[in-house]
Amino acid sequence: MKAFVLERYGKKRALRLTDMPTPELRDDEVLVEVHAAGVNLLDAKIRDGEFKLILPYRLPLVLGHDVAGVVVQVGRRVQQFRLGDEVFARPDDFRIGTFAEFVAVKEASLALKPKGLKMAEAASIPLVGLTAWQALVEKAKLKKGQKVFIQAGSGGVGTFAIQLAKHLGATVATTTSTANVELVKSLGADVVIDYKTQDFEALLRDYDVVLNSQDGTTLEKSLRVLKPGGKLISISGPPDPDFGKEIAAPGFVKLAMRLLSLGVRRRAKARSVDYAFLFMRANGAQLHEIARLIDAGAIRPVIDRIFPFAATNEALAYVEAGRAKGKVVVQVK
């Protein structure tokens, strides 16, 4: 099969298009013919070597964390999926590889594609959808009438999280640039802060939940907009000790996480708020719930650009530039 392969870690290192063996199928896996693959900043960070301690991949490595496609083979123990099923998924860590013609996905991480979506639209959903779900539903337990601040509302996670929070009945504040104000309003944002001319810390008070995706300065300011008992969930770090336990990290990595997050955890405690780091994980059951919401019209995909498979490196560079509105997708088939 054709695949884009990372041969060595390196900043902005180009992936090489080459022939690779089709993934060997395990008993609990499904082989998916890739029709489209979402492109995420996570792919660039792994390529640059930023996650070597947390995710010690063996190279060469096929990147890609989102897939929509068709089932072409099933493992012996697979019961829920059949040949020809149209599916979507975020493959598990250490089984990623959607920048390719085929990828093997665990049955438990797979779901039937939302009926109303094209393959490219479906491929835009899994990673950002699961991130928003695990942050707002699982960790924050966001309820009707609560207030949530979702940073970077026009980005991949932001465009999905705004819609999910509105569906849950929350009041949503977000940050974006002047050019994207109307977009985030159309997704349901109630309070829109133009980060180029306004300071969210001066405008927001007594929020129940913050979904942080920005830098350390923004993280510190976010603590101050929460009310006592509020929750700050960060997808951009620093990793906390609970995450170290979750991934069964080696002792020295757990210690590093404890030290890296010590300052923010102390400051959160002093303000009587909770800090948690989220590194989303594959989950087919949650994707099934997300597909139901999409089919019901509660959430729609937001896609900035679709690149041809041959332009996967260009798609990755476009995502890294940080100006995409919603998601970027590679059309493989």
Both tokens of 179, joined, read 């050019």
Class of residue 31 by CB neighbours under 10 A (exposed 0-12, middle 13-18, buried 19+)? buried
Give the tokens for residue 193: 């802060």
Residue 323 φ then ψ, to 5°:
-110, 5
pLDDT of residue 308: 98
Report pLDDT for 247. Answer: 82
Residues 228 and 179 reside in one and the same domain: yes
Least confident residue range of 43-52, 121-130, 236-245: 236-245
Give the model's pLDDT for residue 221.
95
Q: 177-186: long-range contacts at Cβ-Cβ below 8 A with a sequence spacing of 24 or more?
A: 180/153, 180/154, 180/325, 183/154, 183/159, 183/302, 183/325, 184/153, 184/154, 184/158, 184/159
Say how far apart CA 42 and CA 90 lie, in whole Å.
12
Confidence bin at 237 (pLDDT 50/70/90)? confident
Banded pLDDT at 240 (limits 50, 70, 90): confident
For residues 54 and 152, membership in a common domain is answered with no
Check: CB of residue 109 under 8 Å from CB of residue 132: no
Is 51 inside a domain boundary? yes
Reported as a single tens digit per residue, the pLDDT across 26-66 is 999 999 999 999 999 999 999 999 988 889 999 999 999 99
The pLDDT value given to residue 284: 98
- pLDDT for the residue numbered 72: 98
* Dist. CA 24–CA 118, nearest whole Å: 27
Confidence of residue 256 (pLDDT cuts 50, 70, 90): confident
Establish if 21 belongs to a structural domain.
yes
Could you tell me if residue 143 is inside a domain? yes
For the chain, what is the domain count?
Answer: 2
Coil, strand, or helix at residue 324? coil
Domain range for 59: 2-125+301-331
Which DSSP state fits 100?
A: B
- Domain presence at residue 113: yes
Q: Is residue 295 part of a domain?
A: no
Q: Say if residues 213 and 158 touch (Cβ distance below 8 Å).
A: yes
118 shares a domain with 135: no
10 lies in a domain? yes
When the pLDDT of each residue in the chain is averaged and rounded to a whole number, the result is 96
- Domain holding 144: CATH number? 3.40.50.720
- How far the first Cα of the chain sits from its last, in Å, is 12
Separation CA 244–CA 54 (nearest Å): 9
Over range 86-97, report the average pLDDT.
98
